[in-house]
């Protein structure tokens, strides 16, 4: 089975950056650990896409 691509909306990318930046102010190591955990979880979707839920565009805004 081939991997699928994960596409981020600009808003999602901006939100993730904001979360990591906010945490890094107090604890850079925690921010890096969280970033790694997010990356691993999100990349897992590329390998097994049906473990996630696709939201209708109306909900995403």
- Per-block average pLDDT, block size 10, for the chain (61 residues)? 80 95 97 95 84 74 65
Tell whether 57 is covered by a domain: no
Residue 6 covered by a domain: yes
Structure tokens of 18?
A: 């904001």
User: Domain for residue 61, yes or no?
Assistant: no
Q: d(Cα 53, Cα 61) in Å, to the nearest integer? A: 16
pLDDT at 29: 98
pTM: 0.68
Asked whether residue 12 is assigned to any structural domain, the reply reads yes
Residue 16 belongs to domain spanning: 1-48
Please, are residues 11 and 57 in contact by the beta-carbon 8 Å criterion?
Answer: no
Give the number of domains in the chain: 1
Q: What is the 3-state secondary structure (H, E, C) of 12-61?
A: HHHHHHHHHHHHHHHCHHHHHHHHHHHHHHHHHHHHCHHHCCCCCHHHHC
* Residue-level pLDDT at 52: 67
The answer to whether position 53 is within a domain reads: no
């Amino acid at each position: 089975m081939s991997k699928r691509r994960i596409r981020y909306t600009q808003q999602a990318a901006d939100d993730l950056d904001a979360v990591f930046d906010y945490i890094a102010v107090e604890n850079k190591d925690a921010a890096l650990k969280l970033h790694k955990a997010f990356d691993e979880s999100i990349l897992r979707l590329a390998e097994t896409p049906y473990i996630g839920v696709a939201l209708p565009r109306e909900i995403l805004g």
